[in-house]
Amino acid sequence: MWSLAWPWALLALPLPFFARKWLPEARGLSEAGLRVPDLNNFETLKDRSGAEQLLNWRFWVAVLAWCLLVVAAARPERVGDELEVPVAGRNLMLAVDLSGSMDQKDYELAGRRVDRLTATKAVASDFITRREGDRIGLILFGERAYLQVPLTLDRDTVKVLLLEAEIGLAGEKTAIGDAITLAVRRVHEQEADAGEQVLVLLTDGANTAGEIQPLKAAELAQQVGLRVYTIGIGADSMSVSSLLGGRRSVNPSADLDEETLTKIAQLTGGRYFRATDTASLQDIYALLDELEPVEEPESGFRPVKSYFFWPLGVAFALVGILVLASLLQRAVLRYRAEAEAHAG
């Protein structure tokens, strides 16, 4: 789309007309700039080779040059398509438990029994998709904690690497404190103005490994401003086969340390959630979207490229042509006048 940055400059277009109409005419020179021996010869020269047409040609070239100068002053520009401004969101770390207990098949997904990690992958992937504008990182932990994906705006990469995670990849035990400490370290390495820092930690057990105790790690998180939301995953009860051939109900989440997870969330200003099935896990991530809303995208901007130099350059070229034509005509008249004087 073409536009003018300063369209009011076009008001200057009729200025030469007003100047010619209302300003007094300039007084003639006291002396002729070019002396000719015979006025009759000068009149004859004037009538030769279409002098009146030359005058008209110069007039229209001057008009065109003036119009181009005014257009250049109005600054013509081309406005491009609207570009989306990247949203400056928060730093959001996801810490996912890969310990051996995540293999427990007490969740349902699309009508079939799945293990806890499979359900987590499905729900967390949708959550990542919705976090447009946030820098997302992924921590996988079991007996040890690993930074699988550093903070990035590339949500697709985070989803792919989450889906590729396997149970037992980081060991069979659970190092909750080390996972939080790793997130704290990544936050500490960020710039001071990096925005809000959030960690969503999902586990199905208690801290059974690692060098840092969970509550000590939570204190470190509090010091650097890392808000931790903890999610306890696992069904409250499930039916299993008994030794006598019947069925009995067991609690597959007996090892879940809800007390510690709750204290971690309270210390850091977050919340603890309990996900007993796939639906409740989806509700938790939806609630996280409300608690940590995605920043609204700012109004986009349109790139603007100015083209004032084109009419300005053409106007200067036309003025140059007029000057050269005037000098050439004066030279021709002077040459002819001198030739007439020598002939006389």
Domain boundaries, the chain: 2-22+36-81+303-343, 91-241+249-291
Tokens of 38: 């015979």
Cβ–Cβ < 8 Å for 219, 266: no
- pLDDT tops 80 at residue 300: no
Please report the DSSP string for 5-55 in residue order.
Answer: S-GGGGGGTTHHHHHHHHSPPPPPPSS-SS--S-HHHHHHHHHGGGHHHHH
- pLDDT tops 70 at residue 283: yes
The closest of 197, 176, 200, 175 to 186, measured between CA atoms, is 197
Give the tens place of pLDDT for each residue, 59-109.
Answer: 888 889 999 999 999 988 888 776 655 555 689 999 999 998 899 888 988
Local structure of residue 110 (DSSP, 8 states): T
Percentage, residues of the chain above pLDDT 90: 40
Whether the predicted model's global pTM rises above the 0.75 cut: no
Secondary-structure breakdown of the chain: helix, strand, coil percentages, each rounded to the nearest 5: 45, 20, 35
Chain-centroid distance, C-alpha 10: 36
Is residue 261 very low, low, confident or very high in pLDDT (cuts 50, 70, 90)? very high
Computed on alpha carbons and rounded to an integer, the radius of gyration of the chain in Å comes to 41
Higher-confidence position of 157 and 246:
157
Q: Quick one: average pLDDT of 20-48?
A: 53
Separation CA 3–CA 6 (nearest Å): 9
Secondary structure element (H or E) that encloses residue 145, with its range:
strand 145-152
Q: Quick one: average pLDDT of 38-48?
A: 44
Is residue 55 very low, low, confident or very high in pLDDT (cuts 50, 70, 90)? low
Cβ–Cβ < 8 Å for 95, 180: yes
Give the tens place of pLDDT for each residue, 135-149.
Answer: 999 999 999 999 999
Is residue 297 very low, low, confident or very high in pLDDT (cuts 50, 70, 90)? low
pLDDT score of 47: 45
Domain 91-241+249-291 has CATH 3.40.190.10: no
Q: How many CB atoms lie within 10 A of CB 264?
A: 27
Is residue 298 very low, low, confident or very high in pLDDT (cuts 50, 70, 90)? low
